[in-house]
């Protein structure tokens, strides 16, 4: 289970894109706290603190206690936006956690014992189908990661959710099928050699038209 992390935030008086941009210019990340049948609260956090939490890799499944001018709230980040080019945080949504609440969260998968997998030792590739698994868990018992054991997996084998032991009270949200988490694929070298480099059509070849292609004939 992830431990509760303390965060300090300042209340944000003005909302809207102008105020949010002004906050970003001064090294802050605008954020909002909502939920638990209370009014939403606009806040801002320091960019350094946010980046540190994002780099942990468990940002979306960690419970935070945010101190906004002395008022503490237990929250979980629900979403965050990054700048598409600069990769800096733009905005964060925090959800207040009610007492005894159950939450749906995406928890990262941690692959263990790669050395004990005969398939990977033969040069196979771990093809990760799901980097995260969406689970439903009590707010106080959200796992920080889901450990997946690769022991004994050979080439062509796949690992499904049924092979994973989830902590007590934790259930996957997908229950209608035994979904795949990862497969051990044969490396490209074991497949037919040179098949990859010779794919595709001749350069400059024009594909067939959907309709008639003679409409623009005789123009050259």
Q: How many CB atoms lie within 10 A of CB 87?
A: 9
Nearest residue (CB) to other proteins, 100 versus 200: 200
User: CB of 60 within 8 A of CB of 99?
Assistant: no
- Report the C-alpha gap between 127 and 152 in whole angstroms: 16
* Interacting residues with other proteins between 179 and 218 (CB under 8 A): 185, 187-189, 196-197, 200-201, 203-211, 213, 216
Binding mask 22-41 for other proteins (x = CB under 8 A): --------------------
The 3-state DSSP class for residue 18 equals helix
Conformational region of residue 172, where left means phi above 0, alpha means psi within -120 to 50, and beta covers everything else: beta
Nearest residue (CB) to other proteins, 114 versus 149: 114
Instruction: Number of residues interacting with other proteins: please give it, by CB under 8 A.
Output: 39
Least distance in angstroms from the C-beta of 73 to other proteins:
24
Q: Rule CB under 8 A: choose which of 18, 84, 115, 176 binds other proteins.
A: 84
Give residues with Cβ within 8 angstroms of 173, minimum separation 6.
104, 134, 135, 136
Per CB under 8 A, residues contacting other proteins are: 54-59, 82-85, 87, 108, 123, 125-128, 131, 185, 187-189, 196-197, 200-201, 203-211, 213, 216, 219-220
């Amino acid at each position: 289970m992830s431990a509760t992390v303390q965060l300090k935030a300042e209340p944000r008086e003005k909302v809207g894109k102008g105020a949010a941009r002004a906050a970003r210019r001064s090294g802050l990340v605008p954020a909002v706290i909502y939920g638990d049948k209370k009014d939403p609260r606009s806040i801002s956090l320091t960019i350094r603190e946010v980046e540190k939490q994002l780099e942990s890799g468990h940002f979306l499944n960690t419970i935070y206690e945010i101190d906004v001018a002395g008022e503490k709230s237990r929250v979980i980040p629900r979403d965050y936006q990054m700048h598409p080019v600069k990769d800096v945080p733009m905005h964060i949504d925090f959800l207040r956690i009610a007492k005894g609440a159950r939450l749906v969260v995406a928890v990262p998968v941690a692959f263990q014992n790669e050395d004990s997998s005969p398939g990977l030792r033969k040069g196979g590739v771990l093809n990760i189908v799901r980097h995260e698994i969406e689970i439903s868990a009590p707010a106080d018992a959200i796992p920080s990661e889901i450990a997946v054991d690769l022991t004994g997996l050979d080439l062509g084998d796949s690992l499904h959710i049924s092979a994973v032991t989830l902590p007590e009270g934790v259930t996957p949200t997908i229950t209608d099928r035994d979904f795949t988490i990862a497969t051990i694929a044969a490396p490209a070298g074991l497949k037919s050699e040179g098949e990859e480099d010779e794919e595709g059509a001749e350069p400059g070849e024009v594909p067939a038209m959907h309709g008639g292609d003679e409409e623009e004939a005789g123009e050259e």
